[in-house]
Structure 1
Amino acid sequence: MAHSKLASLLQASKRVQVGDPAGLQEKIRKMVDGGTSNLQFIVDFDYTLTRSHKNGTPVDCSWGVLENYKKLGPDYVKKTNALRSKYHPIELDLSISLEEKIPRMVEWYTQANSLLTEAGVHKDWYEDMIKNSTCELRDDTDTLMISLEELKIPVLILSAGLGDLILEILKHYQLVHTNTKVVSNFCNYDEEGLICGLKPPMIHMYNKSESSIHDPELEHRHNVVLIGDSLGDLHMAEGVKNPNVILTIGFLNNKIEENLEKYKENFDVVLVDDQTMEFPLAILEEIKAKTSS
């Protein structure tokens, strides 16, 4: 790895923080030795595949795409803002235990989803919602996703958001690929196309993992690159059959000074306020180079 893009990123970039350099090098070695045929990617969507800001201005996550849509009106916005003000600090508070958080997250999602029905959201709105939103994928996300498709590496996108909208965002960016599967909350619709509830099971921040699905294609892929933006995302690889190595990459988007050490303790690599997929792409290139050599 002496002269590779990955090596230079690890050595020179303040954006790339590593708590255990020797441990990371060992994981990278195992990934490279295993090649692309043993590899799978497990990725969060909001603020992971998508940017958290553009030039300092916050941008929409997938929920924001929906909540900021003009047809929903001020009453919907007022109610969703009240829910976020109540529950989002609980999600972000690292001092609150998982056992305490989970029932509160279920409360939040249940109430948020009932508001969609109350507001009369129609599935035909999604395309216009995205066009009128500020949601953007991180730089090089398209390059990464296209490379993974070309190499036939499975990508599992796990999200506590709205799966219907996430698929529409991927479609908008022409990134709906056969190697990619989205595990998220998908809606039921009535005969008129209005949301009338969610298909079970509810996916929230702390139960999204590979154990949510049974995909034979993944069973022989024991090397995992996991990418997320919260400590809860570290559970996404639960359910991977006989893992050989799980390399975790965490985007640290906010409260950087407060959370950096905690992230470095838990993720193999922490990407500090990085709005690109440059590092995951460098990991993939490293594995690909060895496989094709």
Structure 2
Amino acid sequence: MSKPIRGYSDIPGWFWWIDRQLFATILDAQADSAPGVLVELGTYKGKSAVIIGNHVRPGERFVVLDLFGRTELLTDTAADRANRTEAERSYATLDRLTFEQNYLALHDQLPEIIEAPSTAIVESVQPDTVRFLHVDASHLYPYVREDARNAKSMLRSDGVVVFDDWRGEHTPGVTAAVFESVFADGLIPFALTPTKFYGVFGDPEPYLTVVRDLIKNDDRVWGEEQEILGRQVPRLNLIKQKEAPKGTMSDADIDRISERLITKLGPALNGLRAT
């Protein structure tokens, strides 16, 4: 029997403290903008979706797309066969009902849910309408490349796209596809964390401002800037906190330890999840 969901930390998954802060910071910065669409491609059991859901405004759509274990929806092309292998190896226990239960434990209403590969999102979301897009679906290059192209089409001029696992040694397809989009399609990074890449196809300055303010004003956040293609890009992480009383750990402490374990043991853990 699964553990009842009483709060955010009860939802299984990998969504680190620094990214929760950045998601909230960016979505708060959009609070006075025109209504738009929010999209998550690949949601696992809902850990990041419930954070995005906190920022859905009246009249807006929040669209969540995932295979939810339904690999029969994939075709028999070489790319889909590789995607099926990845899904069955890493997400064998994933199902839609678990996501819905987790989400409804913290929200009154479900988002729009689509069961499909990520490339199908353009059938449900119009061009130039999305203000926030989180991409955490297939990690294979052909899919992420198409996700990046679709992001450029779907995002409005002030829209933000976030790519997960942009630098992992077990996800080189994400790295290749994201930076191909930087070099060839005009994707501009405005923040980098250990696991996520934050970018725009429009003006990055408004988001650079709020990211720099977060670094300056939150003493839990460490940051520095490096140059990419002539632009300064902040990279951020959690500062090691002062030692807590013996026997106590904060959520941030748990995230930090989990991140180190996932970095070292990620491929092995993926294999264990499939057994």
* TM-score, normalization by structure 2: 0.36
Q: Which has the higher helix share?
A: 1
Higher RCO (C-alpha 8 Å, min separation 6): 1
